[in-house]
Structure 1
Amino acid sequence: MGKKLKLSFTIFLCIFIFDQIIKYGFANYDWNVEGPYMSLQLAYNYGVAFSMFSFLAEYLKYIQLGLVLIGLIYLYINKNVFMEYYIPIALLFAGGLSNILDRFTYGGVVDYFYWHYGFEFAIFNIADVIINLAVAIIIYIQIKQARLEKKNKV
């Protein structure tokens, strides 16, 4: 477990710091760039995905911290889950905690990727991409395990 814990902490720390440096640049310097397909444009999200629950803006950071704490307790109790999913868990926590820190630091999540070619998409950040990557990895592992179990039953 020690090796996996160290690796997951290293992944967490690298992604968390990288994401916060990028967000600091957008929040404090004029890093906006207009492109034909995608632009880099500072925006603050006071809700969650697609600004849902923005009416909870001031309380959302505490609700999310509570959910992270519940997740940590669950992983402490179920160490086997951590052992199996330690990489996506590190990615989830890095992206999630980085976005939560934004709420405390800037009052909302710092977003900057803006897709506008063909259709307009929500503005998002690297942490959002990392969270989605983590979920995709978890789904992939689940599908792989289900297929293996199905194959072993036959």
Structure 2
Amino acid sequence: MKKNLKIATTIFIVVFIIDQIVKYGFANLGWDVNGPYMSLKLAYNYGVAFSMFSFLAEYLKYIQLFMVFAGTVYLFMNKDVFKEYYIPIALLYAGGLSNILDRFTYEGVVDYFYWHYGFEFAIFNIADVMINIAVAIIIYKQIKQSREEKKEKAKNN
């Protein structure tokens, strides 16, 4: 368990710091770059994914902090969940807390990846990518576990 916690902490720190450095560059140093397929362009998201719930902008940071707190309490009460999912949990916490820090620092989440070739896609950031990777890992592990349980059940019948 201690090894998993050390790995998770390292992943969290590295992802969080990289994301915050890049966001600082876009928010304060004018790192915008226009490209033919994708541009790096500063934008602030006052809502959540695809700017949903932007009408809650001033409250979202507190709602999200409460959700992180509730998730942390859940993990303390269910250490086996952390043991199984420590890598995606570290990615979720790093991405989520980095975006929450943006809400306190910049009053909105700093986004900058803007895909515009063939179709326009929502502007996003490294933290968003890490959150999506974490969710994909969790889904993959759940599907894999379900298949293994079905095989074991069929084998025993």
* TM-score band, normalised by shorter chain: over 0.9
C-alpha distance in 2, partners of 1:56/1:144? 37
CA RMSD, Structure 1 to Structure 2 (Å): 0.4
Q: Deviations over 1:92-115 (max 9, x none)?
A: 000000000000000000000000
Match of residue 92 from structure 1: 92
**Is 1:64 the counterpart of 2:64 in the alignment?**
yes
Q: Distance in 2 between matches of 1:126 and 1:98?
A: 10
Question: Using the alignment, how far apart are the partners of 2:73 and 2:22 within structure 1?
Answer: 30
1:84 shift after superposition: 0.3
1:14 alignment partner in structure 2:
14
Amino acid at match of 1:113: F
Percent identity, aligned pairs only, is: 78
Amino acid at match of 1:69: F
Residue in 2 that maps onto 1:151:
151
Q: 2: distance between equivalents of 1:7 and 1:37?
A: 36
- TM-fit CA distance, 1:30: 1.2
Alignment-derived partner of residue 50 in structure 1: 50
- Partner residue, 2:137: 137
Q: Distance in 1 between matches of 2:30 and 2:127?
A: 20
Give the aligned residue type for 1:38: M
The alignment status of 1:107 with 2:128, answered yes or no, reads: no
Partner amino acid, structure 1, of 2:148: L
Which consecutive unaligned segments of at least 5 residues does structure 2 have?
A: none
TM-score (ref. length: structure 1): 0.99
Q: How does 1:110-129 map to 2 (within 5 A)?
A: 110-129=110-129
Unaligned regions of 5+ residues in structure 1, if any? none
> What is the TM-score normalised by the length of structure 2?
0.97
Counterpart of 1:29?
A: 29
2:69 matches 1:82: no
> Which amino acid in 2 is paired with 1:133?
I
- Off by >4 Å, runs of 4+ in structure 1: none
CA distance in 2 between partners of 1:110 and 1:74 (Å): 29
Taking the aligned partners of 1:33 and 1:24, their CA distance within structure 2 comes to 15
Aligned residue pairs, count: 154
Partners of 2:96 and 2:30 lie apart in 1 by 25
Q: Distance in 2 between matches of 1:46 and 1:10?
A: 29
Matched residue of 1:95: which SS? helix
Matched to 2:44, the amino acid is Y
How far residue 75 of structure 1 moved from its aligned partner, in angstroms, is 0.2
